[in-house]
Structure 1
């Protein structure tokens, strides 16, 4: 009896919905999706879309390729979007990249494409491909693009961007790398270390998907290939424009919700390399089984399965699908589509039988060496004859079952399993090693995961069952399931956690003027009866008191906060690092946990060594009471509070009643007017505050054709543009050296502009009234100086300031000069 393998995600893959997150049980497709999946079995073409970031992909095209044409479609994003901005929370850098990774997976579950990455980091806006490729490492990222092509084996590669500047350097670099990889993937002398299980792969053609968003409505597009991607699929009751809009709207952290489109939707293309079609996107390509000889039986079997499908009784298609499987199995092993189409067929067999397989853990996480109770369910929800042979538990234990699954009665099994004492702690594989530079560093045992959206599940269970005279194997990752009183049943991936995590309140600890500070450490128990001692490992000359703190946590999940007094050495000026160490049961470990929770993605955890930067800063603050009008996704308020300011949050609903005069300064968060247009209702009140002697500092907002800024609080006309300085080392030249903001209360010098991260600033003012005075002139290499990054004007008895300087990045990163500059802006 032949054994067939049904992978955990294969049900979704058969329909194109291939990006199921580890923490989710694959969704049972409905009859319309099953019909599309059977139709898709006859297609053997693939298209790989290449761009730079999450949200760069053309979801209209991907939805049409995967759904309308039944092709295998994939999106290769160079980065995970770490360097972007966040409209839904305060996460930045790698945590934002984790959010955007899962937003891409959510998008792919909607549009049916598959998701891939390289190891490149999004280090922020870049103005040249040369800079991007230098920071990323040209050859390393090219190797990853070649690896993706050799794995995916596309017939057609499509770039979102062109190799011609001006453009975001990441965008241009993605096009350059795609063109180079198009040739390199086919060359066995390039990156030969990838070869073995993989073979060189030559795609037929390379196309560019022409961007039309900035073209005039009457632009002449006759020179381009075109495709109408807006068809309607009655089996789904939706057009591909509607599917695409839902997919694109998964990019919630970027504020990319869009309206549905219906009717004709034209996409345009220009050939770049390989075969050059003249009139149609796939001209000259055979994208069905007819591209290979000896496939007549496969074609006949698929046609029979498609014509015989009954949406009211999908289980009746199981015999026909098994005949499809038999015909595909007879093909030579070197057919590049054989293995994939076998998996798709196997998944459709299970889906048509209504088979439900699940493995749940009794808790969300457990520590290495612990015992975990698993609850297994196998349920046949159709009249198909199906027999559960057995299950294989984590660790390899096989449990014989030999039970018929009939009558919609579930088979259940509860069994404890013991985790290996040396089990790896769960964390995203690309964040396991320290993050620095332009490329994620992968641990040796994770390198095979290069480009994958997620790592392997912590635990998995294998179900073996017989259906239609054949034996199948279904693998399910272990999940934890709970019920939320509002959202209903939810699930997340089961994880392996440390016995104790010791998480610092901040990644960066500021020490103004050599003063000691209290450092809080949150201890959380991963197991019951956790006890030991926690201590701080500090650099020479630093003093932590007490030297250690004993603790005892009775129950798993208990938390306790301990505090240390940390004193820098006299005259300390250099940045240093601290590590929290837990001595527990004869072992010394250092783990922190950071969690990401948003309703549109599964709960996520990042576990890394518990460390923080120690940053001495000479800082004079002339004001203490600061009101903060929050914008989306910044940590400026908490950063100010950490150096001694008394910060009061002023959300829009509080502005109307708050006595503003009690604040010595008011600071407006990034993009506050973009995120909440109602703030404009308080314009006059804020300006009266300034007239009466207050100080109002507004951080950057955006203004574009897509998202125009309809209201602004400045007392005089000011136009925000898209200008920015991306070189974080750019010289900050005073426009007027006698400007008071440069000398009081902190005298600023060149050292204050060293050690900045990612950029100097963004969304500078492009035009302004003569009442405003620019403070700095700065520029990126080869460009004209910009003076719109910091503008100041008197208004009545007070002062108004607009700044595009990226305090929202610099303060959380612990840049001393940024604290000193902002203190000057806030001082009266």
Structure 2
């Protein structure tokens, strides 16, 4: 592809994403919402908010700027939150990143802002800006930030955090540090000049820090130039105050437990000067937000004022002819990102005023690469004059329709869209393996949440004015328990290969069975399932033939896997071969009721671990907390694991060799602390209770907490996954029975050593390990054990919930020792 063609392709993709962002509004709006959108259409200017993670953003500020000041507003999050926790499920890493990306988009659909990202991967908690930039590579993240500033052209930039230790997290401080660099770099044509074929240099007027005191209070700073703004205004057209709107947006971050109470009343925010032109009492001081800032913009402003002043909320369609004149005037205004975005807004408003319902509905929602998508375009409107469905355009070809559609009459036209053999809905940033701690992406998708969906274009004519409308192709159906359900299309590999487990452990040379499910996502076909064996691993049978009789059919096959005595831990790749094509991707679906269903297609890979891990005891009870995969890992170690419900805890616990409490279980189950007397009796009679990390707050004694003795949790953690681990008691059973633990067993840990360590504890506790991040004091609260009667109580902040699913061998040995203690 030539450079000019590639540049145009990139611009087209971006503006297509912008248009699709508006299409959610093509359905009918009420008159208050229409008038709100009209007023916003007559306001130009932009503001960008910058922070590090999903849920870092100040939804109140975004709501206020997008709806009160009516500016184009965006949140640029450096990461997708891939390294964060998950309170509602077991997703980790890229899966929780996808979940949190969708939560951000849902929040933006509430507060009215747009959402962008850089390539940076959230690698977990870190403590300094320097560490964050070392992992990410400063130039890589800065490149993405500069591009988005040049493309978005914000008049002001606001950071959530300061660029120093007050931010409380290295990612947080890095986001502010990078924002200040990008503020200057975006205006310098010598920095990242390759971007200038797509975007122009841009100098924002100022950058401010959305200041907060400890606890995110809104008291003003003690020093420095700052602006105070009351963000608690009530919007009569929306019927909500901005704190109410912000609470609804923040409550979309369910995976982080950020359901928010609706706050009413005054809320003043503070903004502390960072760089650029200082504001005099208002962040928007000396910024022209009218159409007069653009050549030929005065006419647009005048026409829109007339539309707003004459708007009849009972008959919004009466304003359509005047808006069609605005459309003509807008085409005469000089080109800019804001103007392009306003054109998309205007088309959406015209359709809303005319009561236009316009959709492209496919016959199904699951397709394979290269398949034909058949469906129908549906048009219905409430405009007093006929609206013509002129044509349907698909990939450069045009189906001329020329059908006049009367008011309240449904018109349908069939369409057929040919999917590219190379296109799938695999999120673009997961198409390739990351480059270090950054995702890889094509320039066309820079900063976007996802690639644009399959679309077709409908050309309609209202009062002799053509409107070209890009329609995302969706599928809708009726679910008896829910009503009409909309789903985005999923374009999958022709065949997907799923394993019943992704990590398997062998203590000996015993034979184990792996179940593999192959799903046909396309046409009928047949082939063979194979496992690419590594040295020392025997696979039987070598291949299994599979023949599909229907689309969507799933066939399960099994393989026996046996390691030799000298086999080493290996990654075994599983694949389905059909017509000399190799299909080696699995299908992972993320499904929650507050976000759209999301699927991605990681490699079908089995981590086969050859490990000499010894265990004592057999029958383990597990109380699931926020969600983790530790029980499955324990099954791999040979334990029988029973997940206990609230009622089952009241039963006979003596049959269990140990009870393991999952991460954050005391935080998510109010009833769990009420069972502590039962756990205490179990320990007194010889049982072992292991509590994995819990978060701070409300737990200080056994009566209302989680420990039989005083145990205070702090925020101590060790975020350097390769930090030195020191043995405080080398001969302690936890380090010797039944597995001898050495320093080597802490090699290969991922993301962190642990979090939420004990900070102060009763003398009944013994501390077993010590560790710390660079330049910090030793932290001795990661693994604590105390005798309770004949039994044992263990609290550990070590990140077993990450290490075991990742197949970290030393973590398995140490966890086996915890479960085996006292046996």
TM-score (norm 1): 0.94
TM-aligned CA distance change 1:35 to 1:129, over 3 Å: same
2:14 and 2:87 map into 1 onto residues whose CA distance is 31
CA distance in 2, matches of 1:510, 1:75: 43
**Aligned residue among 580, 600, 608 for 2:602:** 608
Are residues 1:586 and 2:587 paired?
A: no
Q: Which of the residues 220, 235, 238 maps onto 1:236?
A: 238
Specify the SS of the correspondent of 2:288.
coil
Question: Bigger shift: 314-323 or 583-592?
Answer: 583-592
For 2:182 and 2:767, how far apart are their aligned partners in 1? 46
1:122-201 alignment to 2 at 5 Å?
Answer: 122-166=122-166, 167-201=168-202
CA distance in 2, matches of 1:498, 1:218: 54
Of 447, 450, 453 in structure 2, the residue corresponding to residue 451 of structure 1 is 447
**Count, aligned residues:** 808
Mean CA deviation greater in 786-795 or 607-616: 607-616
- Secondary structure at the aligned position of 1:654 is classed as helix
Distance 2:452 2:293 in 1: 35
Indicate the residue corresponding to 2:360 in structure 1: 359
Report the counterpart of residue 642 of structure 1 in structure 2. Answer: 636
Q: Choose the corresponding residue for 1:572, options 567, 574, 582.
A: 567
In structure 2, relative to structure 1, the CA distance for the partners of 1:109 and 1:142 (3 Å cut) is: same
Deviation track 1:357-400 (CA, whole Å, cap 9, x = no partner) reads 1112212222234343212211223324421101123x444221
Matched, 1:536 2:531: yes
Q: CA deviation at 1:729?
A: 0.9
Q: Secondary structure at the match of 2:264?
A: coil
- Could you say which residue in structure 1 is the equivalent of 2:298? 296
Q: Deviations over 1:265-306 (max 9, x none)?
A: 101001111101132221222221233465332221111011
Residues 377-426 of structure 1, C-alpha deviation per residue, up to 9 Å, x if partnerless? 11223324421101123x44422111112121111123445444x24232
Matches of 1:710 and 1:691, distance apart in 2: 16
CA–CA distance in structure 2, aligned partners of residues 709 and 272 of structure 1: 48
2:282 maps to 280
Provide the secondary structure at the position in 2 that maps to 1:595: strand
1:590 Cα offset (Å)? 1.4
Q: CA deviation at 1:128?
A: 0.9
SS of corresponding position for 2:587:
strand
When residues 435 and 483 of structure 1 are mapped into structure 2, their CA distance, relative to the original with a 3 A threshold, is farther
CA distance in 1, matches of 2:526, 2:18: 46
Distance 2:710 2:21 in 1: 48
Q: Is the 8 A contact 1:542 1:569 kept in 2?
A: yes
Query: Whole-Å Cα distance in 2 between the matches of residues 543 and 436 of structure 1?
Result: 33
Taking structure 1 as reference, are residues 51 and 217 closer, same or farther at Cα in structure 2, changes over 3 Å only? closer
Deviations 1:523-544 (Å, cap 9, x if unpaired)?
1111353322101012122211
Aligned pair in 2 of structure 1 residues 320, 706: CA closer, same or farther (>3 Å)? Answer: farther
Greater mean deviation of Cα atoms: 70-79 or 297-306: 297-306
1:735 aligned residue: 728
Query: Hey, what does 1:769 align to over in structure 2?
Result: 762
Cα shift at 1:522: 1.1
The superposition leaves residues 57-113 of structure 1 with CA deviations (integer Å, 9 ceiling, x where unpaired) of 000000000001111110000000010000111000000000000000000000000
Q: Is the 8 A contact 1:500 1:523 kept in 2?
A: yes
The RMSD of aligned alpha carbons is 2.3
Q: Does 1:521 align with 2:516?
A: yes
Q: CA deviation at 1:338?
A: 2.8
Q: What SS class does the counterpart of residue 198 from structure 2 fall into?
A: coil
| 733 and 684 in structure 1: CA distance in 2 versus 1, 3 angstrom threshold | same
**In the alignment, which of 251, 254, 277 is matched to residue 253 of structure 2?**
251
Provide, for residues 111-169 of structure 1, a one-character-per-residue CA deviation record: whole Å limited to 9, x for no partner.
Answer: 00000000000000001111100111110000000011011100000000111115200
Q: Separation in 2 of the partners of 1:526 and 1:46?
A: 43
Q: SS in structure 2 opposite 1:766?
A: strand
Which of these residues, 626, 629, 636, is aligned with residue 632 of structure 1? 626
Residues 696 and 582 of structure 1, relative CA distance in 2, 3 Å threshold: same
2: CA distance, partners of 1:219 / 1:59: 19
Native 8 Å contact 1:687 1:713 kept in 2? no
**In 2, Cα distance between equivalents of 1:271 and 1:582:** 59
Q: Which residue of 1 aligns with 2:52?
A: 52
Shift of 1:234: 1.0
**2:102 pairs with 1:102:** yes
- Candidates 786, 790, 793, aligned match of 1:797: 790
Distance 1:340 1:527, change over 3 A: closer
TM-score by length of 2: 0.94
Tell me what 1:4 maps to. Answer: none
Q: Is the 8 A contact 2:717 2:755 kept in 1?
A: yes
Residue 734 of structure 1: CA displacement?
1.1
Question: Which residue of 616, 619, 626 corresponds with 1:622?
Answer: 616
Structure 1, residues 658-684: CA drift from partner, whole Å, max 9, x if none?
310000001000000000121111110
> CA separation of 1:709/1:397 partners in 2, compared to 1, >3 Å: closer, same or farther?
farther
Deviates more, 1:120-129 or 1:396-405: 396-405
CA contact (8 A) 2:26 2:351 kept: no
Residue in structure 2 matched with residue 73 of structure 1 by the alignment: 73
Hey, what's the Cα distance between the residues in 2 that align with 1:11 and 1:499? 27
Q: d(CA) in 2 for partners of 1:707 and 1:404?
A: 73
Partner of 2:5: none
Relative to structure 1, the CA distance from residue 218 to residue 189 in structure 2 (aligned partners, 3 Å threshold; closer, same or farther) is: closer
Q: Could you list the per-position Cα deviations for residues 424-465 of structure 1 after superposition, in whole angstroms to 9, with x for gaps in the alignment?
A: 2321111111246310122xxx331011011121x3111011
Cα 1:172–1:708 change in 2 (3 A) is farther
Query: 1:298-697 counterparts in 2 under 5 A?
Result: 298-333=300-335, 337-393=338-394, 395-420=395-420, 422-435=421-434, 437-442=436-441, 446-457=442-453, 459-573=454-568, 575-656=569-650, 658-697=651-690
1:704–1:721 contact (8 Å) kept in structure 2: no
Which shows bigger deviation, 258-267 or 381-390?
A: 381-390
8 A contact 1:686–1:713 mirrored in 2:
no
CA distance in 2 between partners of 1:722 and 1:318 (Å): 58
Deviates more, 1:448-457 or 1:758-767: 448-457
Q: Which residue of 709, 716, 724 maps to 1:716?
A: 709
Q: Secondary structure in 1 aligned to 2:817?
A: helix
Question: Hey, what's the Cα distance between the residues in 2 that align with 1:246 and 1:215?
Answer: 19
Q: Against the structure 1 CA distance between its residues 415 and 329, is the aligned structure 2 distance closer, same or farther, given a 3 Å change threshold?
A: closer
Residues 51 and 161, structure 1, Cα contact 8 Å, conserved in 2: yes
CA contact (8 A) 1:56 1:160 kept: yes
Q: Equivalent residue for 1:3?
A: none
**Maintained 8 Å contact 1:762/1:806:** yes
Pick closer, same or farther for the CA change 1:136–1:384 going to 2, 3 Å: farther
Cα pair 2:51 2:76 within 8 Å, conserved: yes
Deviates more, 1:239-248 or 1:468-477: 468-477
DSSP 3-state at the match of 1:725 = coil
Q: Is 1:718–1:768's contact at 8 Å kept on the other side of the alignment? A: yes
Deviation sequence 1:548-599 (CA, Å, 0-9, x none):
01112222222122111112232234x3211112121332221211111100
Q: State the secondary structure of the residue aligned to 2:755.
A: coil
What secondary structure sits across from 2:165 in the alignment? coil
2:425 touches 2:490 (CA, 8 Å); kept in 1? Answer: yes
